[in-house]
Amino acid sequence: MLNFVLPFIVLIVVVVFIHEYGHYYFAKRYGVGVTDFSIGFGRELFGWNDKSGTRWKVCWIPLGGYVKFFGDRNVFSQADQEELLKKYSKEDQHKLFVTKPLYQRALIVAGGPLANFILALVIFTFIYMFAGKDFTPAVIDEVLKDSPAEVAGMQKNDVIIEIDNTKVESILDVSKLIAMSTSEFIDFKVSRYDQEIILKVKPNFVDSVDELGNKLKKRMVGIKLSPYNNQITHKKLGPAQALLQSFNEVYFVTTSSLKYLGSMFTGAGDSSQLGGPIRIAKISGQVAEFGIIPFVSMMAYISISLGLINLFPIPLLDGGHLMFYAFEKVLGRPLSQKTQEGFFRIGMFLLLSLMFFATFNDLKDLGLF
């Protein structure tokens, strides 16, 4: 049990701390007072006050965190704001979040997701610099008989150079790009006798297990790969190239995640792969057993997911606040209290539904349903 719990807590604490620190950084930069910086929810386990009066604390439910601003509350109209300002001195008014220009409030809110993307960039950059990145060409060693690949015309010794218009830089990219594809047909660009050929492959869906023993529905095209001339190409990158590769990885994960979520809404995607804290805890424990590099890589992917989800235009999330600020910019005033409360109810329903669905998948994955 501890093998799952401890890695999960480490992963969540780091990713959540970075997210909340993004909010904290921009708040302090623009002079907003911060009264609380909390990792976790519920009763405080321990904490301390810094010189500016911020209470840094760790609470007993490690499934998130928050930064609380001085005088924190929603202001729905100009009259509300004027009433609020009467309660504070001139000095304290400058520390209120609601008195800041719209662009500063937007940056403070967007700072959390931005910090998550930066964390992923830093992790990938260090991995590529110090552990290296694989650049082994993806050569088809065997095409299974009557498989989708054979039907599409794939042949032994074809070199896969693109999948769905994404460049294949390594043999390791192939399974990842096939798994993340959301189309009925997967476009393969292969090199054959110095000619580039585009083949459309309709994959089969089969019940399978991943390297960690977790159940999943897998897209199979029916090919076996091998390194070119049985030589592995793995090299450490310089800072600039490592950073560029990191940007490419973050961009790929972000766009692929959005496509995958979109496919679930249209019914084309496999919604059973959507998991919550239980699945994250299970996989983080499994990955930690393989070493520090796989574990911090997973931390980077979770950080991207947290940043991306928080940008969704759902009230209660950072993206919901940014949506309200967009309306405020267009209308020249905040939305009315009734309108915002209506959005918050919708947001609460969506989040609770998502949590229920993810938890149900987690329990089903554990064999409890």
- HEC sequence for 18-74: HHHHHHHHHHHHCCCCEEEEEEEEEEEEEEEECCCCCEEEEEEEEEEEEEEECCCCC
9 and 116: one domain? yes
What is the average per-residue pLDDT within 173-180?
Answer: 87
Q: Does residue 294 form part of some domain?
A: no
Calculate the alpha carbon distances from 135 to 27, 87, 234 in Å.
Answer: 42, 62, 6
220 and 162: one domain? yes
From 107-116, 192-201, 267-276, the region with the lowest mean pLDDT = 267-276
Tallying the residues shown for the chain, one arrives at 369
Q: Does residue 293 form part of some domain?
A: no
Q: Does residue 240 form part of some domain?
A: no
125 and 195: one domain? no
45 and 122: one domain? yes
Q: Are 27 and 34 in contact (CB under 8 A)?
A: yes
More reliable by pLDDT, 257 or 133: 133
CATH number at residue 194: 2.30.42.10
Residue 369: what pLDDT? 45
Q: Does residue 272 form part of some domain?
A: no
138 and 117: one domain? no
Q: Is the pLDDT score of 143 beyond 90?
A: yes
Residue 1: what pLDDT? 55
Q: Does residue 89 form part of some domain?
A: yes
Residue 368: what pLDDT? 44
d(CA 294, CA 95): 42
29 and 82: one domain? yes
- In the chain, % of residues over pLDDT 70: 83
114 and 176: one domain? no
126 and 141: one domain? no
Q: Is the pLDDT score of 61 beyond 70?
A: yes
What is the average per-residue pLDDT within 164-187?
Answer: 89
Marked catalytic residue, from 20, 91, 162, 328: 20
Any catalytic annotation for residue 91?
no
Domain tally for the chain?
Answer: 2
Q: Are 228 and 159 in contact (CB under 8 A)?
A: yes
More reliable by pLDDT, 350 or 247: 247
From 195-199, 225-229, 285-289, the region with the lowest mean pLDDT = 285-289
Residue 335: what pLDDT? 81
Q: Is the pLDDT score of 249 beyond 60?
A: yes
9 and 124: one domain? yes
What is the average per-residue pLDDT within 133-158?
Answer: 94
218 and 317: one domain? no
Q: Is the pLDDT score of 203 beyond 90?
A: yes
Confidence of residue 201 (pLDDT cuts 50, 70, 90): very high
What is the average per-residue pLDDT within 320-338?
Answer: 88
Query: Among 71, 68, 67, which residue's Cα sits nearest to residue 92?
Result: 71
131 C-beta neighbours (distance < 10 Å), count:
14
What is the average per-residue pLDDT within 82-105?
Answer: 86
Rounded to a whole number, what is the largest CA-CA distance in the chain? 79
d(CA 326, CA 143): 52
93 and 187: one domain? no
What is the average per-residue pLDDT within 188-216?
Answer: 81
- Which of 235, 268, 283 delimits the end of a domain? 235
- Which of 209, 235, 261 delimits the end of a domain? 235
Which positions ≥6 away from 96 have C-beta within 8 Å? 32, 33, 69, 70, 71, 84, 85, 88
pTM of the model: 0.86
Host domain of residue 188: 133-235
Q: Does residue 252 form part of some domain?
A: no
- Which of 235, 266, 287 delimits the end of a domain? 235
Q: Is the pLDDT score of 24 beyond 80?
A: yes
10 and 83: one domain? yes
Q: Does residue 271 form part of some domain?
A: no
What is the average per-residue pLDDT within 297-323?
Answer: 91
d(CA 294, CA 122): 15
Q: Is the pLDDT score of 38 beyond 90?
A: yes
Residue 351: what pLDDT? 76
Residue 55: what pLDDT? 96
Q: Is the pLDDT score of 269 beyond 80?
A: no
d(CA 166, CA 129): 23
Residue 315: what pLDDT? 83
